[in-house]
Structure 1
Amino acid sequence: MNTRFLETLVVLARVRSFRETAQVLNATQAAISQRIASLEDELGAELVDRTSRRLMLTPAGEQVARQAQRILQLERELVMSTKPEAPPAGRVRIGTIESVVHTWLSPLIRMLAERYPQVNPDITVDTARNLQDQFRLRKLDLMIQNDPYAESVGNTDYRVTPLCEFPVQWVARPDLVPKGGTITIDDLERVPVLTFSKTSSPQAHVRALFVDRDTEPRVCSFPSVESIIQLVGDGYGIAAIPPVFVRERLQRGELQVCEGPALPPLVITVLSERGANSAVRATQALTTEVVNGFCERVGEAWARRLDPDLPA
């Protein structure tokens, strides 16, 4: 049985599109269709439901895709077992949210260069949703982000490591803070509220505070953390962000952390496919080490390390 055909079915089961499967495997749609047809002929069963408008696998197709994933994993393990141990090397495509850029990405890249000089990191900075789309299409080897990745829940095909959490609090210029330093929902309705992109979980948490209110809040969403920092520093509004982003401005008194409606922390995880090569595995392990050092250095008030044995 051609393992390339099995890989095609596994990718098709993941992305649910012949066109995107062709993109992932760098092939034509006609070639992808032919591979699936050949696999169906060999197995004597229909794997794709061609009566549905939306691409779906048949029950037999779903079962074969699960078993094919295990076969491909065993094949990778077999190949790796025959190779002598060598230093990790090669390109590692790392996708990360901008929050990481403002905290510990630089130490990670620096330590990666020192410890694994033959590893070449290729960095993509984007929103969590866009990173997940790229990871799903195998355009990323390693994904560092803050939203749950549905495909990894209960799935041993992925290696998910909880890294840290950043408390999300209300940050504003002192002249926008009410007397006593506490911000209420009424206060937040009178000024722009600055937070992350429209597709992010922090933005959803902010909007949820106003669900039962009569006034529509001015929630301003930005994919760029730098934009939020600039605007809150200019006094444009009150930001719902991790204070760790603006530690120096807080220490100088230019900005102030305020008490207010509670918001969930920003929980950061790193994720890769379990069959990833040694360069990806080494980068993921080093990421955990760097984050632990960062959390210890800044203190739990700013960032708290997470137990890697906890579910992500």
Structure 2
Amino acid sequence: MNTRFLETLVVLSRVGSFRETAQVLNATQAAISQRIASLEDELGVDLVERSSRRLELTAAGEQVVRQAQRILELERALVASTRPEAPPAGRVRIGVIESVVRTWLSPLVQQLARRHPQIDLDITVDTARNLQEQLRQHKLDVMVQNDPYAPAVGTLDHRVTPLCEFPLNWIARPELVRRHGRLTLDDLESVPLLTFSRTSSPQAHVRALFADRQVEPRVCNFPSVESIIQLVRDGYGIAAIPPVFVREWLHGGELEQRAGPVLPAMTVTAISAADASPAVRAAQQLTAEVVRAYCAQQGAPWVRSLAEPFDDQQMLSPG
């Protein structure tokens, strides 16, 4: 039996369409359909319910998927056992939020190239919500982001590595708001508030501050960190972002941190499937190492490391 066909069925069961399965496996849709048809001929049962408008597995298909997952896991273990000293190799698709791009993505890419030259790195930058959907559809191998990921809570299906914690502070040009005392909600209602995308946790935390207020705050949402920084430097509004993003302008006096209503820190984690390949595990392990080094270099007031030495036997879940 061709294990590639079994892998195709497993991916199909997860993403729910022939088209997306073809994208995940870098094949044509016709090739995916042929693999499933060949598997059905070999097993003598229908695996996919083709009369339904929405792709669904038959009862036999669901049973085969469960067995196929075990077979594929055994195959990976067998290959690894015969080549215990082989360096991690293969394509690793890592999805990151833009906050990572502004901080430690470059050191990570450089370290991966130096330590694991046989890993072919594929980087995607997107919002946390979009990255979560891509991980769910198996279009990513590792997701690095700051929002809760429900499928990883309370299960052993995912490996979750806490990485770091970015404090969120109010950042503005000195002349934009009164200089004395803490910022109040009245102060924040008087100017646009700049923060991350509409679906992000920081945006939700900013809006939650005004839940009992009569005035709706002017919250401007941007998926681009660069846009937020440029607007706050232009004096357009007050930003709720990690101060490390604008460290140079804070030191130069162009921007300043202002005490005010407290916002929860951004907790960044790396998440992958528990049965990920050695290359994916190596990339996740090195990510934790790079983040620890970055946090040590920047210092605790700017970012706090949560990364511990990677334990390949331990499956963590957030919280």
TM-score (norm 1): 0.86
Distance 1:18 1:290, change over 3 A: same
1:204 aligns with 2:210: no
**1:85 positional shift:** 1.4
Mark the CA change 1:2 to 1:205 in structure 2 (over 3 Å): closer, same or farther: same
Question: What is the SS of the residue equivalent to 1:175?
Answer: coil
Whether the 8 Å CA contact 2:152–2:317 is kept in 1: the answer is no
Q: CA deviation at 1:262?
A: 2.1
Identity %: 71
Partner of residue 217, structure 1: 217
Alignment partners' CA distance in 2, 1:283 and 1:175: 45
Q: Unmatched 5+ residue regions in structure 2?
A: 309-313
Q: Give the CA deviation at 1:105.
A: 1.5
After TM superposition, give the deviation of residue 65 of structure 1 in Å: 3.0
Match of 1:269 in 2: 269
CA distance 1:296–1:22, shift in 2 (3 Å): same
Where do 1:36-115 residues align within 5 Å?
36=36, 48=48, 53-57=53-57, 61-115=61-115
Residue identity in the other structure for 1:306: L
Partner of 1:123: 123
Tell me the distance in 1 between the aligned counterparts of 2:21 and 2:118: 30
Deviations 1:290-311 (A, max 9, x none): 1112222222221112255763
Local SS of the residue matching 1:176: coil
How far 1:73 moved relative to its partner?
1.3
Q: Secondary structure at the match of 1:249?
A: helix
The corresponding residue for 2:317 is 311
What amino acid does structure 1 have at the position aligned with 2:234? D
Q: How do 1:155-170 residues align onto structure 2 when only pairs under 5 Å count?
A: 155-170=155-170
State the match for 1:25 in structure 2. Answer: 25
CA distance in 1, matches of 2:5, 2:155: 22
189-198 vs 11-20, which moves further: 11-20
| Residue matched to 2:299 | 299
Q: Cα gap change, 1:298/1:117 in structure 2, threshold over 3 Å: closer, same or farther?
A: same
Please give the secondary structure, in 1, of the residue aligned with 2:175: helix
8 Å CA contact 1:97–1:126 kept in 2: the answer is yes
Cα separation, partners in 2 of 1:50 and 1:189, compared to 1, 3 Å: farther
Structure 1 window deviating more from structure 2 (82-91 vs 193-202): it is 82-91
- The one-letter code of the counterpart of 2:134 is Q
Structure 1 residues 40 and 156: alpha-carbon distance in aligned structure 2, compared to 1, 3 A threshold:
farther
Task: Compute the displacement of 1:282 (Å).
Answer: 2.0
Task: Flag the 1:291–1:254 CA change in 2: closer, same or farther, 3 A.
Answer: same
Structure 1 residues 242 and 66, CA gap change in structure 2 (3 angstroms): farther
Offset at residue 240 of structure 1 (A)? 0.7
1:28-85: CA deviation from partner (whole Å, max 9, x where unpaired): 5455455556656766776556676544445665454344323211111112212251
The farther-off stretch of 180-189 and 56-65 is 56-65
| Matched position secondary structure for 2:7 | helix
**Segment of structure 1 superposing worse, 218-227 or 8-17:** 8-17
2:4 aligned partner: 4
State the Cα distance separating 1:231 from its structure 2 match.
0.9
Instruction: Measure the CA separation in 2 of the matches of 1:183 and 1:165.
Output: 23
SS in 2 for 1:87: coil
* Amino acid in the other structure paired with 2:70: R
User: 1:210, CA displacement in angstroms?
Assistant: 2.6
C-alpha separation in 1, matches of 2:105 and 2:34: 43
Shift, 1:161, TM fit: 0.9
Bigger shift: residues 14-23 or 132-141: 132-141
- Number of residues paired by the alignment? 312
Query: Is 2:194 aligned against 1:194?
Result: yes
CA contact (8 A) 1:177 1:258 kept: no
Instruction: Tell me the amino acid that sits aligned with residue 73 of structure 2.
Output: Q
- In 1, the alpha carbon distance for the partners of 2:117 and 2:20 equals 33
Moved more, 3-12 or 164-173: 3-12
Name the residue aligned to 1:132. Answer: 132
Structure 1 residue runs of 5 or longer lacking an equivalent are: none
1:102 offset after TM fit, Å?
1.4
- Measured after TM superposition, the shift of residue 211 of structure 1 is 3.0
